[in-house]
Chain A
Amino acid sequence: MIQQWDEIQTMLRDSARSVCKGLGGAGSSGTDCMPELWRKASELGWLGVALPEDRGGSGGGLVEAGLIASEMGRAGFFGGFAESTAISFALAGLDKRATHEAADLVRQAAEGGIELRLVQPFLHSQAPAEVGIVSTLSAPKAYLIQNDDELRLVGEPVESDSAEEIRITARRRDIQVRARQDRPETVLVEGDAAGMAWEAANRIYRCLAATQLSGAVRALLDIAVEYSRIRQQFGHAIGSYQAVQHAVTDILAGVDAAELLSFRALAALTVSPFEALPIADSAVAFSREAAWSAVIKTYDVLGGVGFIEEHPLSVYTRGMLPVFTSLGSSALCEEMVGESVYRGRWLTYEGGAYSS
Chain B
Amino acid sequence: MTYHFTKNQQDSFRREAADWMASEVKPEWLSLEPESPEYLALGREMDRKLIEKGWFTLHWPQEHGGHDDLVRHAIVREMEGYYRVPTYGGHGRYIVGPALIEFGTEEQKRRYLPPISRGESVVCLGFTEANAGSDLAAMQLKAIEAEDHFVVTGSKLYITYGHYSDSMLLAARTDPTALPHKGVSIFLIDMKLPGISVRPLHCLTGHRINEVHFDDVRIAKDTLLGERNRGFYHMTVALNYERSGLDLPAKYMAQLEDVAEHARQTGLWKRADVRQTIGRLAAYLDAWRMICWRVVSLQMQGAIPSWEASLAQLYRKDFNPQFGKALLDIFGPEGLVERGEHAAPLAGRIEWYIREAFNNHGQGGRFVTRNVIARRGLDMPRT
Give chain A's interface residues, CB within 8 Å of chain B: 1-6, 9, 63, 225, 228-229, 236-237, 239-242, 244-246, 248-250, 252-253, 256-258, 260-261, 263-264, 267, 278-279, 281-283, 285-286, 289-290, 330-331, 333-342, 344, 346-348, 350, 352, 355-356
Contacts and interface: CB of A to CB of B under 8 A. Distances in A.
19 contacts: A1-B3, A2-B71, A2-B296, A4-B301, A6-B1, A9-B1, A63-B1, A242-B370, A242-B371, A245-B380, A253-B314, A257-B287, A286-B283, A338-B260, A338-B275, A355-B10, A355-B11, A356-B10, A356-B293
A240 B287 contact: no
Contacts of B253: 346-347
Contacts of B74: 356
B377 A236 contact: no
Contacts of A239: 380-381
A356 B318 CA distance: 24
Contact of B378 (A236, A252, A285): A252
B280 A334 contact: yes
Interface in B345-383: 367, 370-371, 373-375, 377-378, 380-383
Interface of B: 1-5, 7, 10-11, 13-15, 18, 22, 71, 74-75, 78-79, 82, 250, 253-254, 256-257, 260-261, 264, 269, 272, 275-280, 282-284, 286-288, 290-291, 293-294, 296-297, 300-301, 311, 314-315, 318, 367, 370-371, 373-375, 377-378, 380-383
B282 A347 contact: no
B381 A338 contact: no
Interface of A is mostly: helix
A289 B250 CA distance: 22
Interface of B is mostly: helix
Nearest to B21: A348
A260 B283 contact: no
A350 B12 CA distance: 10
Given A3-B1, A346-B253, A335 B293 contact: no
B293 A3 contact: yes
A289 B280 CA distance: 9
A6 B2 contact: yes
Most buried by A among B278, B287, B370, B377: B287
A170 B275 CA distance: 32
Given A347-B253, A356-B78, 5 more contacts: A2-B5, A237-B381, A334-B277, A347-B78, A356-B71
